[in-house]
Structure 1
Amino acid sequence: MSEQYRTPPAEAVETDAPRPGPGTPRKLAAVLLGLTAVVVLMLCAFALPSVNGGPHEVPIGVTGPQAAAEGLRAKLDGPEWDVTVYEDTAALTTAIQEREVAGGLALGTGGIDVYTATAGAPTATGALTALGNAAADRQHVKATVHDLVPFPGDDPRGAGLAAAGLPLVFGGIFPAVLLTRLFPGHAHLRTRFAGVVLFSLLAGAAIAGCLQYGTGSLAGSYWLTALGLGLGMAALAMTFIGLEALAGFAGLGAGIAVMMLLGNPLSGLGSGPYWLPSGWSSLGQVLPPGASGSLLRSLAFFDGTGAAVPALTLAAWVALGLVLLLVADRRGGKTRHDGAAGAAEAETHAVTA
């Protein structure tokens, strides 16, 4: 039999097979510990806000006879409620509709009127209603609830709004990842920028249409709501592509991790911003998911009242992403220029030689 068809010895086969290196067990242990830490971090990020949830300095108003109103303010004002006394019921209801307070109590001899804005802070509304009922029971009168800003009749519990959190976050992640994969390199930075802008406009219009006309979860101006949703997704996607352009996959991964592990659970989209501890709530409103939720509530239920701060916050994130892109583009242009100069110099030396 010819040598080329002869079966190699078993020893040779075993020798040629790749073997684990000496650092493989340590590398595997590091990967497993890292994955475990990520899972625990995810659990803490999603569980701790829920476990520690409750009214935290919820701004509410009180009106009625001066002595009674001041007495109730002194009793309630503390870590759970931030109480303001209003001159009359009209002033209280105006403050609620202008988002100065989340709700309020109007004291009277015949009963207590509880004024709420469920669309602004659903969980705080429930706690305020329970507070009004308890105060009415102590006085042996009746509590009457008036919801000044309710959710639409087709979605009275606001389920559609609460469910929009993850789609909004993924609406920033997916275009950043896909555009980066399909149009890699510094030569396509402008293409990625244009893709993010166009996608945000299209996706904002589509999501607003589904929530407003499909599930009936939103009210207000459709086009303003669509622009607000698009701004929220642009803030995320622009930041992601900027991080990837400047720091590569590590920058993109870090940005996604922060928005998923902190931005989403701290957004307060389903509960309203008052149900988280004050520090966590403030952080959540600075990140794009929380700012998007606040902007969406303002545009969809309060005729734009209170929209300025979250809109400016999202615009700042868009600007940050754009700055990162410009820095990466300038760095890439400098690299290309240096490379071209080096090649020209080498060619000149070759010709001279």
Structure 2
Amino acid sequence: MKRPLRAVLVAVLAVAVQALMVAAFTWPAARVAPRHVPIVVAGPAPAVASVAQRLDAERRGAFEVERRPDEAAARRALADREAYGAIVVGPAGPRVLVASAASPTIAQLLTQMSQQLSGRAAPAPPDVVAADRDDPRGAAFGALVLPLVMSSLVGGVLLVFLAGAAGWRLAGLVTFAVGGGLVTAAIVGGGLSVVPGAYLEIAGVVGLTVLAVSGAVVGLGAVMGRAGLGLAAAVMMLLANPLSGVTSAPELLPRPWGAIGQGMPAGAGGTLLRSVAFFDGARAGSPLTVLLVWSATGLLLLGLGALRDRRRTGAHEVAGRGAQALADADT
């Protein structure tokens, strides 16, 4: 192929990749809106039904309402991460509770809704589970995921090209995950103080997220070679990261993309980190399972790639010995 034509084709490919990345990262943000956001309404059954009907009429499909008997039960629901907010119906009218640690974006939405429900200017609603005071809007927390995914991708690629045998790649993965978890937890927890919680727990969540991403890269690279690395990069960067919902909430993304994002390491890692940092591990089972499945799948693929390479090496050795035996017979 002539060089001018090759240059044009490379430029066209670069434009296509750029367009895909721009669309992947901006489309979810441009379509952020509440979609079946879990909230609770506390109070007598008739009052709860009236509030639920009003919400459905004004914001159809925006909220998924569950009833609780009183404010104490509503607060427990927020602390257990069963809902993003609550509406408590009392003699003075409806009153909103929020949990900004679950999603500052939804907390802001519910704060605006509290004024609409009361029909007058209202003070800021009580924050049952507040975001970190050094990161009240969750900007730093949301910014954590992209560099974590990118560095895990780079680490996985380096292990594929530089670590050699499967055993060394496995050792590199474990070292990378443990070290990455410890260092990142020290930065975001101790240094920047934007993620509260026990240091080792935060380090464990980050390390498992690193292992899920880099393990997928190494595993696909072991089985599919360069094509596997490209596939892993595309999935993690163009799907997992923009669909993670970390900067807003999975329920604010168009369906079913929010749920798909929670089935990938970036979304599951962000959700698990929130649960461990702010909610004492409430609702941690599902994201933890997702990360474990991704990690185990990556390690399984790494093992399958090593087994295939060993068989190929054995076949080549057998063929070489046969050729040598024939050569010796001829002499």
Q: Determine whether 1:179 maps to 2:156.
A: no
The answer to whether the Cα contact below 8 Å between 2:111 and 2:124 also exists between their aligned partners in 1 is no
Unaligned runs of 5+ in 2: none
Counterpart pick for 1:159 among 139, 156, 159: 139
Flag as ranges the 4+ runs of structure 1 deviating above 3 A. Answer: 23-30, 140-144
Q: Who is 1:233 aligned against? A: 210
1:198 maps to 175
Question: How far is the alpha carbon of 1:322 from its aligned partner?
Answer: 1.3
1:342 matched to 2:324? The reply is no
1:168 to 2:145 alignment: no
CA distance in 1 between counterparts of 2:245 and 2:117 reads 28
Check whether the contact 1:123–1:275 (CA below 8 A) recurs between aligned residues.
no
* Equivalent pair of 1:73/1:85 in contact (CA under 8 Å): no
Confirm or deny that 1:104 pairs with 2:86.
yes
Q: CA RMSD in A?
A: 1.6
Secondary structure of 2:225's aligned partner: helix
Give identity over the alignment, percent. 36
* 8 A contact 2:104–2:131 mirrored in 1: no
Q: Is the Cα–Cα contact under 8 Å of residues 135 and 141 in structure 2 kept in the other structure?
A: no
Q: Find out whether 1:278 has 2:255 as its counterpart.
A: yes
Q: Provide TM-score, normalisation by structure 1.
A: 0.88
Alignment size in residue pairs: 327
1:43-54 paired onto structure 2 within 5 Å: 43-54=22-33
User: Following TM superposition, by how much is the alpha carbon of 1:27 offset from its aligned partner in structure 2, in angstroms?
Assistant: 4.3
Name the SS for the 1:146 alignment partner: coil
CA distance in 2, matches of 1:133, 1:255: 46
1:55 aligns with 2:34: yes
Q: What is the CA distance between 1:25 and its match in structure 2?
A: 5.6
* Partner-residue secondary structure (3-state), 1:105: strand
**1:11 — aligned with what?**
none
CA offsets, 1:151-179, max 9 Å, x none? 12222222221110112102311211221
For 1:183 and 1:158, how far apart are their aligned partners in 2? Answer: 37
Q: Which residue of 1 aligns with 2:73?
A: 91
CA distance in 1, matches of 2:83, 2:217: 35
Query: CA separation in 2, counterparts of 1:171 and 1:237?
Result: 9
Q: Give the TM-score normalised by structure 2.
A: 0.94
Counterpart CA distance in 1 for 2:140 and 2:26 is 22
Q: Is the Cα contact below 8 Å between 2:42 and 2:69 reproduced in 1? A: yes
Matching residue within 127, 135, 145 for 1:147: 127
Local SS of the residue matching 2:315 = helix
Offset of residue 40 of structure 1: 1.1
Corresponding position of 1:133: 115
Residue pair 1:291, 1:313 contacting (<8 A) in 2 also: yes
Q: Distance in 1 between matches of 2:123 and 2:149?
A: 40
Q: What is the distance in 2 between the residues matched to 1:297 and 1:83?
A: 22
- Residue 69 of structure 1 corresponds to 48
Native 8 Å contact 1:132 1:143 kept in 2? no
Classify 1:67/1:141 alpha carbon distance in 2 versus 1 (closer, same or farther; 3 Å).
farther
SS at match of 2:35: coil
- Is structure 2 residue 190 aligned with structure 1 residue 213? yes
